[in-house]
Amino acid sequence: MIHILCKFEKQINIYLMPLVPAYIKQLSSYKPGKPIEEVRRELGIKNIIKLASNENPLGPSPKAKKAIQSNIEMIHRYPDVSGYDLRKKLAKKFKVKLNNVVIGAGSEGIMSTIMRTFLLNDDELLSSENSFIGYKVLAQASGRKTQWTPMKKNRYDLDAMAKKINDYTKIIYIANPDNPMGTYITKDEFDEFYSYVPSRTLIILDEAYYEYANNIPDYPDSMYYRYNNVITLRSFSKAYGLGGLRLGYGFAHQDLISNLMKVKVPFEPSILAQIAGCAAMEDIDFLKKTIQVNEVGLKFFENELDKMEIVYVPSATNFITTIWKSEKEASRIVEKLMEAGIIVRHLKSFGWPNYIRISVGKENENLRLISTLKTIL
C-alpha cells in the first residue's frame, strides 16, 4: 500500500512539474536598438542614421569584406571545428599559445559556454547592477543566484563587489570599459579587487571596447594578467566592424580553454566569420582610421554637449551616454530624434530610465545629431 502511494505521489509531482522553469518565464527578451528597416516601415522616413548600437560607422573592414567575397562559394562547407587558423593568428598577435585561445559566436556566445561549462547547482554569480544587459540575461537564464551591486558614480563599485564574494561565488563579470556607461576600472583598482578573489572563482573581463581604451595609461589590459582564473573576452563587432557576423574571442589558462572547447557549440563561428576575422586582423590601416574617427567624434560630442550644458558620462569607448532630468524628458528626446530619422538608445531597459546612449558616427552623422538636438531642446 505504501509503495502504491509513493508511486502515485511521484506521478503527481511529475504531472505538476512546469514545462518552463519559473526563472525563464520571468525573463524579458533582450531588446536591441531599433534597426533602420523597422523605423523606415513605422515612420516612412528614408534618410535614417543609426547611432544606437555602437557599430563601426565606417562599416566592415575592407580586407574582411574582400575575403568574404572571395570565399563565398565555401558556405556549403562546415567550418573547421577547432577554428585553428583564427586562433593561431590571435595567439601570435597577443603572444600566447594556441591552447590559450577560444573563439565563439560573439562574446556572449563564449559567456554562455563559460556558464554551461563551470557552473555547479549551488554556484553563484556576481556583477554590477545595470551593466551589460546581455550578461544579465545569461545570468538569469542560468537559474543560479546572482548578486548584483549598484554602480557608484556610473562606475563599477569594486569595493562593494568584493564584500559580496562568498564561498559560493563562481563567476564574477566585469565589463571594462563598461557598456552602457563607457567608464572603466583602473589597473590599481583591479589589482586591489583581485586580492579578494579566491582561486575557485572565475573573473570574466569583457573587453569588447578594448581597442578604444588600450591607449589610456591606467587602463588594465588584461593580457598582462595571466592568472589561472581570469578569462578575457574581446570582439570583432566594434572596432573591426563585423557585428553582423557574430565573432568573439577569449584568452585564458589552457585548462579553462580545454574544457570550454569540450562544451562550446560545434561549427561556430561560421566559416565566413572565421575567414573575415583572419582578414580583419591584417587590416591595420582600417583599425587606425577607426580609432582616429572615433577620437575626433567623441571629442566633438563632448565639446557640443558642454556648450548645450547637457550632462554626460566621460567615455573610453565609441559611444557617449547622456543624463537627463527625468525618464519623461529622455523618452521625449529619443522620440523626437527618431521622428527626425536619428536612432539612439534609451537605456531604460538597462535600468537607467533617464539616460540616453549615443554612438559615435561619421562626421556628417554627428553634426546632424547635434543640430537636431539643438532644435529639440
Q: Distance between CA atoms of 312 and 182, rounded to whole angstroms?
A: 10
Give mean pLDDT, residues 176-205. Answer: 97
Which residue shows C-alpha cell 532630468? 325
Amino acid at 15: Y
Instruction: Name the CATH superfamily for 25-58+284-376.
Output: Aspartate Aminotransferase, domain 1 (3.90.1150.10)
Q: How confident is the model at residue 298 (pLDDT cuts 50, 70, 90)?
A: very high
Summarize the confidence of residues 16-44 as an average pLDDT. 81
Q: How far apart are CA 364 and CA 350, in angstroms?
A: 29
Cell of 312: 554626460
Domain coordinates of the chain in residue numbers?
25-58+284-376, 62-280
Q: Do the strands 342-343 and 319-323 form a parallel or antiparallel pair, or are they unpaired?
A: unpaired
Rg of the chain over Cα atoms, rounded to whole angstroms, equals 22
Instruction: Look at residue 17 and tell me whether its pLDDT is greater than 80.
Output: no
Strands 355-359 and 319-323: antiparallel
d(CA 96, CA 88): 9
Which range among 33-47, 71-85, 226-240 shows the weakest confidence by mean pLDDT? 33-47
Q: Is the pLDDT of residue 4 over 70?
A: no
pLDDT tops 70 at residue 172: yes
In this model, does residue 136 exceed pLDDT 80? yes
pLDDT over threshold 70, residue 210: yes
Residue 23 pLDDT class (50, 70, 90 cuts):
confident
Is a pLDDT exceeding 60 seen at residue 12?
Answer: no
pLDDT number for residue 14: 55
In percent, how much of the chain has pLDDT > 70? Answer: 95
Contact, 64 vs 277, CB < 8 A? Answer: yes
Rounded CA separation 53/50 (Å): 8
Q: How confident is the model at residue 5 (pLDDT cuts 50, 70, 90)?
A: low
Q: Give me the chain's average pLDDT, please.
A: 93
Q: What is the CATH number of domain 62-280?
A: 3.40.640.10
Cis before 21? omega within 30: no
Closest CA to 166 of 151, 190, 149, 147: 147
Mean pLDDT of 165-189: 97
Can you give the pLDDT at residue 3?
Answer: 59
**Over residues 36-55, mean pLDDT:** 91
pTM of the model: 0.92
